Amino acid sequence: MYGKIRKLFGKIINWINAPNCCERIIIMAKCENCGKTTTFGHNRSFSMRATNRSFKPNLQKISVYENGKKVKKLFCAKCIRTLAKSK
C-alpha cells in the first residue's frame, strides 16, 4: 500500500516525511547580491504569434568570503564579473 501512495504522491510524501521540517530551506532562482529573478515575456514565431516564456538569470554557486568566513552563495554572472573587477 505504501508503494502505491508513494507513487501517486511521491513529492508530497517526501516533503511530509523529511527530517527537521523546520530547517528546510527553499532556494529561489534569485541572485543573492542584486536580487535579479526570473522575468517573463513572449516567444515570437515567424507569424508573430506570441507564446509565453520565462527568462531565467544565469545563476552560479560561488564561494565568497563574508566576515572572514568562506560562504557559498548564488550570484548572477554580471555580479561575479563585478566582484572579479573590484578585487
| Helix%, strand%, coil% for the chain, nearest 5 | 30, 35, 35
Structural domain boundaries enclosing 72: 2-86
Find out whether 82 and 68 touch, Cβ atoms under 8 Å. no
Count structural domains, the chain: 1
The pLDDT of residue 39 is 94
How confident is the model over 14-61, as pLDDT tens digits? 555 555 555 556 667 899 999 999 999 999 999 999 999 999 999 999
The pLDDT of residue 13 is 45
Cβ contacts of 34 within 8 Å, gap of 6 or more:
76, 78, 79
CATH code of the domain in which 66 resides: 2.30.170.40
How confident is the model over 49-77, as pLDDT tens digits? 999 999 999 999 999 999 999 999 999 99
* pTM exceeds 0.85: no
